Amino acid sequence: MHLTFIDVVFTVIVFVFAIMATTHGFLKELFGKLAIIAGIVVAVLFSSKLSPHMEKFINNQAVCIVLAFILLFIAAFLLVKIIQTLIGSVMDGDILKSLDRVLGFVLGALEGLFIVCAILILVCAQPWFDLSVVTDGSFYYKVLAKFIQGPVNYLKGIFV
């Protein structure tokens, strides 16, 4: 197997994410991302329902919408973090702590691969430079090509 320079860069990206997630642990990594996603989803879905109730106290509709968004985001974020703390208290033993770290490594490696896919999608979809020199011979490109082809074709239609 021959690794190109871009493969070395991608490998470093994957390992950096994997090691960071290993040090944090699976639960902290997973719930950290879930808290942000849940906060955004809850805030987007329900801020328009909460803001009319706030208009009774605040006369500015824009301020009410922003404040409702922020309050709902914080509430959902904190709820997920409380659940994380409850589940994390179960994972305090040595064996489960090791499992938490191993699963963290796997999650981090998957995050790194996701970033590598995003980079490859942008490199392949952009129309301004011929970067086939970068992808030709790349191990990561060969392995991930079938997964990124759909997004690449979609973005090529947007960039043109």
pLDDT confidence bin for 1, thresholds 50/70/90: low
Task: Report pLDDT digits (tens) over 119-146.
Answer: 999 888 888 887 777 788 888 988 888 8
Integer Cα distance of 32 and 35 in angstroms? 5
pLDDT at residue 115 tops 80: yes
3-state SS assignment for residue 57: coil
Task: Report pLDDT digits (tens) over 27-66.
Answer: 999 999 999 999 999 999 999 999 888 888 888 888 999 9
Integer Cα distance of 45 and 38 in angstroms? 10
Give burial (CB, 10 Å; 0-12/13-18/19+) of 48.
Answer: exposed
Name residue, tokens 């999608």. Answer: 121
Domain map of the chain by residue range? 5-119
pLDDT value of position 160: 62
pLDDT confidence bin for 67, thresholds 50/70/90: very high
Q: Which of 49, 16, 17 is nearest to 33 (CA)?
A: 17
pTM of the model as a whole: 0.75
Task: Report pLDDT digits (tens) over 72-107.
Answer: 999 999 999 999 998 888 777 777 888 889 999 999
